[in-house]
Chains A and B, each alone.
Chain A
Amino acid sequence: MDILSLFVVVPIVTILALVFAKELKQSRVIAASGMLVQFLMSLNLIYAYFKEKQFNDDIMVFTKDYLWFEKFNIHYAIGVDGISVAMIVLASIVVLAGIFISWKMEDLHKEFFIALIVLATGVFGFFISLDLFTMFLFYEIAVIPMFLLIGIWGSGPKEYSAMKLTLMLMGASAILLVGILGIYFNSNAGGGNLTYNILEIAKVNIPVEAQNLFFPLTFIGFAVLGALFPFHTWSPDGHASAPTAVSMLHAGVLMKLGGYGVFRVAMYLLPEGAMTWSNFFIVLSVIGVFYGALAAIKQTDLKYINAYSSVSHLGMVLFALLMLNKTAWNGAILQSLSHGFMTALFFALIGMIYGRTHTRDVTKMSGLLKVIPFISVMYVIAGLASLGLPGFSGFMAEMQIFVGAFQHPDMFHRVATIITVSAIVVTAVYILRVVGMMLMGPVRNDEFKGFEKATWYERTGVILLLIPIVFMGVTPIWLSDMIRESLAPFIERML
C-alpha cells in the first residue's frame, strides 16, 4: 500500500469498524483513533515529502497510476505536491478536532461518525487525485453526506438548509461534469491520446475556443463550493443549521475543495480561458468579499456571522487566484489554510458557547469572559487571527494577496483591490463588535454564572486548531517553501 492511498484506506477501515460499534463510547473511540492515525500519517507525509523532494524534482511526488476503466482512459492516479500536502494536513487536523468536539453526540452516534468520516474520505481522496474522474468522484462523495449530517443532527430549519446545500453543490458538480468532459475530449489536442490525467493534460494546449467555453463551467462548478457570489446562498443557511463538527469540517475543509479545484483544474488546465474570463470573475469575487463582510455586520446569530465571514474570506481566495501572479497565488493558498483552521476554531467555540447558553444570539449574551475564560480567550484569538493581526496566519495570507494584487497597474485591478482591502476594515468591525457584546461587560444573566468550564476534549480540539494558526503566523517558512516550489509549474504554464 502506498503512502497516499492509505489516506483513503484508513477512513474506510474506520467506517467498517464503526459499523460494529454499539455504544457511544465505542464509536467515538474508534472514530478518534482512526482519525488520529490519519493525523499522524499526515505529519509523516510532510516529513516524507521534504525528504522525497531533495532528490525528486517532479511536479508531483509519490505518484501511482492504476488503470481502472480502459475504454474511457480512467485511471486511479494519485500524487501530491506541496499544496495538496498542506491541504491534507489541514483536513486531518480539522477532522480530528471535529471528532473531539462531537465527543458527547447522543443521537445516532454511530451514523454520525460514519457520515463524518465518509465526508473525510471524499476530501482526502480529492486532494490526492490526479485523475479528473476520480477527483470528481471523491468530490461528490464529500458533498453528499452533508445532506444527512445537516438534516439529521442539525438545528433550526435543518431540512430546508440541507436540501438547499445539497442541491446547489450537486448542481454545481453537475455543471462541472460538463466541463470535465469538455476537457477530456480536447485533451488529445497535441495528437496524443484522450486522458483524464491532470499532468498529461497540462502538457497540451487545448484549443482556445474550447478553453473559453469550458473554463466558466469548470470554474463555476468548483467555485460554488468556494462560495462564489451569487452562488454562496447555500453557505450561511447550511452552516447555521449544521451541528458543530459539521460546520467546522464544512467551512474548514470542504469549502477549500472549491479553491483548490479552481486552481488545479480550471486555471491550470485552461489557462487561456482563465485570461479571458478573469475580469468577469474578479468582479463577482470582489462583490462576494465586500458583500459577505457587510452582511456579517448585520447578523446577530453567531453562526451566520461566521458563515458570512467565510463568504468574504473565501471570496478573497478566488480574488487572489484570479490575480494571476505568483505572490497573490501564494497568498491565496495561505489564506485557504489559514481560513480553514480559523473558521474551524470559530465554529468549535461557537458550538461550545451554544452548548452552554443555548442561544446563538449575540445580543442576549454578555460577560462570557468572566464565566468561561478559556473559551472566551480562544474566541478573541480566533477573532484577531480572522481580522489579520500580525503574528497569526491571516496576516501573512492577506498581506501577500494584496501585494500581489497591487502588481497590476491598470485601473480595473486597482479599484478591485482597493474595494477588497477596505473589506478588511469591515471585518474588524464585525469581529470586535461581537467580542465586545458577547465577551466583555458584566454578566447580566444569572444562569450564565453556573457554566461548566471547558472540558478536556473541548480543550484538545481547540488547541489542535490553535497550534497551526500560531505556527503559520510566526514561522511560515516551511510552508512557504512547500508552496513556492509547487507553484512553479503553474507559473510556467500560465504566466
Chain B
Amino acid sequence: MRQELVLLAVILLLVILEIFMNNKKALVNWALVIFGLHTLTGFLPMDEGSLFGGMYQTSQLVHLFKNVLNIGVLIILLQSAEWIKKEIVDQHKSTEFFIMMLSSLLGMYFMISSGDFLMFYLGLELSALPIAALVAFDTTKRVSAEAGIKFILSAALASGTSVFGVSLIYATTGSIYFDEVAQLLSYSNLSLVGFIFFFSGLAFKISLVPFHFWTADVYEGAPIGVTSYLSVISKGSAVMILMIILFTVMKPFEMVTTSMLYIVSVTTMFIGNLFALRQQNMKRFLAFSSIAQAGFILLGLLSNDQLGVSTVVYFVSIYVFTNLAAFGVIQSISTQTGKENMDDYDGLYRTNPKLSLVMMLALFSLAGIPPVAGFFGKFFLFTAAASQGFYFLVFLAVVNVTISLYYYLLVVRAMFLRKSDQAIPYFDSSFTMKLGLVLAVIGVLFIGVYSPIYEYIYQLSIL
C-alpha cells in the first residue's frame, strides 16, 4: 500500500503547490523532481500482503511491475516537459496534466493489485477517466477533442462490458473475491459468457483485435505524451491484470482460453502488422505496431506457468522502454517542428544523428533484432509458446516479425537512406528530453543482454 499512499501524497502536494506557486514553469521541474523521488522510494523493499479483507493484494511481482510503471511514467513526464512548458503553461493547466496522469497511474496501481472484482473495477475506472481528459488536452486541436470523445465512449463501453461479465460470474459463484471465485467457479455456459465479456472489456484496453478500432484514431489525436502513456502504461497494466486473473481466477476455462488466445493472438498480429504497412503518420504507425506487439504478448499467456508469467512481465518491461524511446524521438521532433509524418524524417540522420540512432535502436528493439532488448523479449516469448508445443503459432508469429520488420525498416530507410533538401534542421533538445531519452535507451540496451534482470523477474514470477 506504500506506493499508493506516496503517490497520493505526491498528487496532493502538487495540488497545494499549484495554489501557492506562481512560477508555473518552475513548478513543472519541481513536479518532475517530486515524481522522481517517488520512483526512487518505490525501490525500497516491501512486504507482500493483503488489506481490506482481501480486496487489495500485493506481491513482489506486482511491486516490481509498479516500479516499471513508475519509471515509464517518469520517462513520459520528462519527455513531455518541453511540450508542457512551450504550449500548456500558457493555458494555465500544466499542473493538471501532472495530476491527471498521476491519478490515472494510481488507478493502474489499484487495478493490478486488486484482490476482488470491485477493486479491479474501481482501478479500471480511475485509470481510464483522467486519460480521457488527457487525450482531449490539446483543446486547440480538433482531432484531440475527437480522440477524447472516441476514447471515453470506447472506454465506457469496455468497462461496461467487463462489469457485465463480472456480474454474470458473480451470479454463478456468489462472490467477487478472486480467492473465492477461483474455488467456486466451475465451467458452465453462464460463467463462460461472463468470462468472455470480462475478457472483451480488457481486450479493449490492450487493443486486441477485434476491439482495436479506437486505437489508431485516439493515438493520432492525443498529445504525444498521452499517446505513449496509453501505449505502454495503460496497455502494460491491463496485460498484467489480465494475466493475473487468467492464471489464478479463470483456471476452469483453460481449454477455452487457450484456443481463444490462440485465435486472438494470430488475428491481432496479422491485422496490426498489415495495417501498419501503409501508415504515414508516425503516431498511427506506432499505434498499429503496438497492436501487433499486443498479439506477441499473448503468446506468453499461453504458457500458464512461471516461465510464461516471467516472459510476459519481461517483455512488457522491455516494451515500455522501447516504445518510450520511439515516442520520445517523435515527441522531440514534433515539439520542435510540428512534423509527425514519415516523409518528414527523410534525411534525419544527416542533420540529427543522435535522435536517428535512438529511433533506430528503438525500432530494432520493436522488430526484435539483436543485440537490443526486444530480441531477447521476443525470443523468450516464443520459447514460452514453444514450450507448450505451439510450434505453428510460433511460426505464424515469426512470419509476422518479418512483416513488421518491413515497416520498421521504412522508418530507418527514411532517416538513413534518403537525402532531402527539406530535412528537419539540427536542433538541440531540452535537458529533460535528453534525460528521458537516455533512460529509455539504457533500458533498451541493457535489459536484454544483462541477464540477472530476467533471472530476478523469473524468481518473482509466482502468482
Interface check A37, CB cutoff 8 A: no
Inter-chain contact B417/A167, CB cutoff 8 Å: no
- B391 cross-chain contacts in A, Cβ below 8 A: 178, 181-182, 213
Interface check A36, CB cutoff 8 A: no
- A174 cross-chain contacts in B, Cβ below 8 A: 398-399, 401-402
Interface check B395, CB cutoff 8 A: yes
Inter-chain contact B398/A177, CB cutoff 8 Å: yes
**Contact pick for A175, options B398, B406, B416, CB 8 Å:** B398
**Contact pick for B402, options A70, A147, A171, A182, CB 8 Å:** A171
* Interface 0/1 of A147-180, CB less than 8 Å to B: 1100110000011001100110011001101100
Per the bound structure, the CA–CA distance linking A302 and B283 in Å amounts to 44
Inter-chain contact A148/B394, CB cutoff 8 Å: no
Inter-chain contact B383/A137, CB cutoff 8 Å: no
Given known contacts A151-B417, A162-B417, is B369 in contact with A181 (CB within 8 Å)?
A: no
- A72 cross-chain contacts in B, Cβ below 8 A: 380, 383
Interface check B310, CB cutoff 8 A: yes
Per the bound structure, the CA–CA distance linking A174 and B367 in Å amounts to 11
Interface check B34, CB cutoff 8 A: no
Interface check B124, CB cutoff 8 A: no
- A478 cross-chain contacts in B, Cβ below 8 A: none
Inter-chain contact B386/A69, CB cutoff 8 Å: no
Interface check A71, CB cutoff 8 A: yes
For B384, give the chain A residue with the smallest CB separation. A72
* Interface 0/1 of A21-51, CB less than 8 Å to B: 0000000000000000000000000000000
Per the bound structure, the CA–CA distance linking A339 and B451 in Å amounts to 39
Given known contacts A140-B369, A141-B371, A170-B402, is B416 in contact with A177 (CB within 8 Å)?
A: no
Interface check B444, CB cutoff 8 A: no
Inter-chain contact B364/A181, CB cutoff 8 Å: no
**Contact pick for B413, options A151, A177, A185, CB 8 Å:** A151
Inter-chain contact B371/A167, CB cutoff 8 Å: no
Question: Chain A: interface secondary structure?
Answer: helix
Interface check A225, CB cutoff 8 A: no
Inter-chain contact B451/A141, CB cutoff 8 Å: no
CB distance from B141 to the nearest CB of A (A): 34
Interfacial residues of chain A within 89-145, with CB under 8 A of chain B in the complex = 133, 137-138, 140-141, 144
* Interface 0/1 of B379-391, CB less than 8 Å to A: 1101100110001
Inter-chain contact B386/A181, CB cutoff 8 Å: yes
Per the bound structure, the CA–CA distance linking A482 and B377 in Å amounts to 39
Interface check B458, CB cutoff 8 A: yes
For A133, give the chain B residue with the smallest CB separation. B379
Interface check A412, CB cutoff 8 A: no
Interface check A68, CB cutoff 8 A: yes
Interfacial residues of chain B within 357-383, with CB under 8 A of chain A in the complex = 364, 369-371, 375-376, 379-380, 382-383
Given known contacts A69-B451, A71-B307, is B412 in contact with A147 (CB within 8 Å)?
A: yes
Inter-chain contact B409/A163, CB cutoff 8 Å: yes
CB distance from B329 to the nearest CB of A (A): 18
- B383 cross-chain contacts in A, Cβ below 8 A: 72, 181, 184
Per the bound structure, the CA–CA distance linking A181 and B380 in Å amounts to 10
Interface check B170, CB cutoff 8 A: no
**Contact pick for B455, options A70, A144, A147, A177, CB 8 Å:** A70
- B375 cross-chain contacts in A, Cβ below 8 A: 137, 140
- B275 cross-chain contacts in A, Cβ below 8 A: none
Inter-chain contact A152/B380, CB cutoff 8 Å: no
**Contact pick for A151, options B398, B399, B416, CB 8 Å:** B416
Per the bound structure, the CA–CA distance linking A133 and B383 in Å amounts to 11
**Contact pick for B417, options A138, A158, A182, CB 8 Å:** A158
Interface check B17, CB cutoff 8 A: no
Interface check B262, CB cutoff 8 A: no
For B461, give the chain A residue with the smallest CB separation. A71
- A141 cross-chain contacts in B, Cβ below 8 A: 370-371
- B369 cross-chain contacts in A, Cβ below 8 A: 140, 144, 170
Interface check B454, CB cutoff 8 A: yes
For B392, give the chain A residue with the smallest CB separation. A178
Beyond known contacts A72-B383, A166-B405: 20 more, CB 8 A cutoff = A69-B454, A133-B379, A140-B375, A144-B364, A148-B412, A151-B413, A151-B416, A158-B417, A162-B413, A163-B406, A163-B409, A163-B413, A171-B399, A175-B398, A177-B382, A177-B398, A178-B398, A181-B386, A181-B391, A182-B391
